[in-house]
């Protein structure tokens, strides 16, 4: 069922630095991101009608256990604001953005805030990994040792067997994203690497090595969306928002994500565009093979062509479609609840022409994509947004 929706614009974005931040907490990071977004929007906090927080660990790593969103907004005089915590694994931030978008599009709110925050490095790594295992089926999978690197390692091997993808092509994803991250002042990793570096790194889940995997990270990001009458000249519009879930069934040849293809189909239809119209995309590169699959599933190249596509330079800044100009999860970082908001933040900076050294020239259409959880051989949640200058 569809109904008439109001035009929605992004008036402000804010993002903390990503990476290990021992002096911060979930709450302090969230407060900083919201402050930066309000300043960017030049908006009185009292104008905000409702807020959604993307957060996954929920205090399980020693942070704020309850009411994180409400507490983070208290310094802005928003103690009575309706605040909802969103949890959709890695897609939490994107679902928070979608919730804020729908509130404004429906007329329920004129100004809505989506923000995400995660402090993941506070606890020992083994504890963090245990919490992250909750994004899979703890009863049927994690208890038997199924891990995300292991699953994506199997996917990579299958993609290599079916499509001839090479380790060097996977490494090209990391090389590109680390180069982009070196241009991003808030990125977790700011040093370029070579194909040789990636291939020589310690193996984690063959054929994936340490540099094929995103790292544990701290950080927060915020997005303020408004009705059209409150938008300023140059504020990008959200022209599509789609969310899908899987039926928890193995996806065919293990070389693609059906729910990404369906979310992309819905988003392109809403926006009235095709994949060919997209100038830049922030996609969920939790592992190098994931970005290869996403470029195929989003329609930027044909099935099985993702490896040669990245190796050719087509996904670099200045290529056919700039994929992860921020550096993506692999270089910018992946504080889970913040990732979707950070992707939208990068899209907004690019469309406003404010991305600095990583600016995609002439960017008019941007896409963001996140996957959340991984259950019974399939990703469990996907969100895709399209923004236009």
Backbone angles phi, psi at 366, to 5 degrees: -130, 145
Catalytic residues: 90, 334
Residues 6+ apart with CB under 8 A from 46: 77, 78
Distance CA 276, CA 297 (A): 13
Answer for the pair 116, 52: CB distance below 8 angstroms, yes or no: no
Distance CA 46, CA 338 (A): 23
C-alpha angle 284-309-325 in degrees, rounded to nearest 5: 45
**At CB < 8 A and 24+ separation, what contacts does 69-78 make?**
69/30, 69/115, 71/27, 72/27, 72/30, 72/31, 72/34, 72/115, 72/117, 73/34, 73/113, 75/31, 76/34, 76/35, 76/38, 76/45, 77/45, 77/46, 78/45, 78/46, 78/48, 78/51
With the CA atoms of 331, 335, 114 and 239 taken in that order, what torsion angle do they form, in degrees rounded to the nearest 10?
A: 40
């Amino acid at each position: 069922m569809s109904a008439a929706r109001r035009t929605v614009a992004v008036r402000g974005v804010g993002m903390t630095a990503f990476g290990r931040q021992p002096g911060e907490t979930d709450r302090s990071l969230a407060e900083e991101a919201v402050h930066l977004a309000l300043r960017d929007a030049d908006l009185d906090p009292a104008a905000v009608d409702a807020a959604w927080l993307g957060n996954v660990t929920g205090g399980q790593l020693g942070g704020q256990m309850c009411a994180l969103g409400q507490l983070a907004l208290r310094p802005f005089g928003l103690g009575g604001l309706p605040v909802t915590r969103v949890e959709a694994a890695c897609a939490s931030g994107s679902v928070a953005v979608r919730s804020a978008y729908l509130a404004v599009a429906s007329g329920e709110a004129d100004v809505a805030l989506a923000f995400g925050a995660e402090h993941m490095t506070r606890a020992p790594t083994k504890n963090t990994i245990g919490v992250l295992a909750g994004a899979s089926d703890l009863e049927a999978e994690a208890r038997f040792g199924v891990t995300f690197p292991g699953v994506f390692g199997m996917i990579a091997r299958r993609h290599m067997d079916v499509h001839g993808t090479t380790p060097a092509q996977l490494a090209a994803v990391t090389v590109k994203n680390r180069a982009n991250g070196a241009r991003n002042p808030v990125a977790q990793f700011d040093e370029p690497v070579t194909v040789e570096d990636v291939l020589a790194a310690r193996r984690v889940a063959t054929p994936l090595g340490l540099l094929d995997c995103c790292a544990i990270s701290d950080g927060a990001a915020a997005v303020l969306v408004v009705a059209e009458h409150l938008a300023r000249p140059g504020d990008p519009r959200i022209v599509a928002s789609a969310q899908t879930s899987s039926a928890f069934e193995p996806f065919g040849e293990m070389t693609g994500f059906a729910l990404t293809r369906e979310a992309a189909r819905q988003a392109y239809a809403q926006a009235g565009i095709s994949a060919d119209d997209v100038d830049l995309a922030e996609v969920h590169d939790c592992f190098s093979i994931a970005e290869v699959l996403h470029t195929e599933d989003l329609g930027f190249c044909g099935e099985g062509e993702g490896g040669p596509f990245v190796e050719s330079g087509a996904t670099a800044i200045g290529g056919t479609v700039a994929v992860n100009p921020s550096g993506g999860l692999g270089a910018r970082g992946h504080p889970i609840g913040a990732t979707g908001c950070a992707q939208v933040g990068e899209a907004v900076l690019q469309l406003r022409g404010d991305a600095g050294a990583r600016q995609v020239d002439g960017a008019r259409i941007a896409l963001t994509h996140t996957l959340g959880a991984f259950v019974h051989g399939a990703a469990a949640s996907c969100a895709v947004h399209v923004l236009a200058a």
